Amino acid sequence: MLKHQMELVNKEIAQLVEELGADAIELAEHFTELDSIDMEQFSVPLQSIPIRCDVRTLPWKKLGLWCQFDVVMMDPPWQLASKAPTRGVALGYSQLPNREIMDMPIPLIQSNGFIFIWVINSRYSFALEMMQHWGYEFVDDITWVKSTVNGRLAKGHGFYLQHAKESCLVGMKGNRPESLQGNISPDVIVSQRRGQSQKPEEIYKLIETLVPDGLIHPLNFHVD
């Protein structure tokens, strides 16, 4: 099933590249990593339980009763407001307005611990407001510097400057996790840009170093 879905994605990418021509170059670059994935060998990571659903209808209360997480990582589908937000590059996911993202009942699944929120430049201030709304204190941020396969900056479209990085805000609420190991990992990640909206593997290693053996919930949003 997963292999078939990936084949369909690749066909759609090829069709977009043909239709958009030069404007599709960046889109194609976003998905080059798909070709290197051996779907026959793919398996769910140990201690992971994948949940595929529309986050707007996720049974948050049941999830919170089943488990309270030490770390939550969010990659919200921020809504882009400009007239031509993607500059000819198709987004492979639906977007949500700020209010719907803030309405996610995150406190139901975490009473104590850390939250990591990936943000775009225009939503930086709102993400801080959202943290406070959920009861978190902003404590740090992480910068991901994107590189190409040749080790150069992987620059993308921006309004004033070309963007070659992403930011992840870190908040904390309640009691610190018992296994917390602070002041070990750096706040900068330098790694290759991969699939569209795909975050670097290093962020997971950083979190697992910060909170060894913690209960971690990565929220990669899906909206039907």
Question: Per-residue b/e over 146-159, b at no fewer than 16 CB within 10 Å?
Answer: beeeeeeebebeee
The pLDDT tens digits for 7-42 are 655 565 555 445 544 444 443 444 444 444 555 666
Which pLDDT belongs to residue 15?
Answer: 57
Distance (Å, whole) CA 133 – CA 127: 10
Residue 215 DSSP one-character state: -
Which pLDDT belongs to residue 187?
Answer: 97
CA atoms within 13 A on the CB side of 163: 17
Burial (0-12, 13-18, 19+ Cβ within 10 Å), 65: exposed
The pLDDT tens digits for 133-154 are 999 999 999 999 999 999 999 9
The pLDDT tens digits for 96-120 are 999 999 999 999 999 999 999 999 9
Non-local (6+) Cβ contacts of 124 within 8 A are: 167, 169
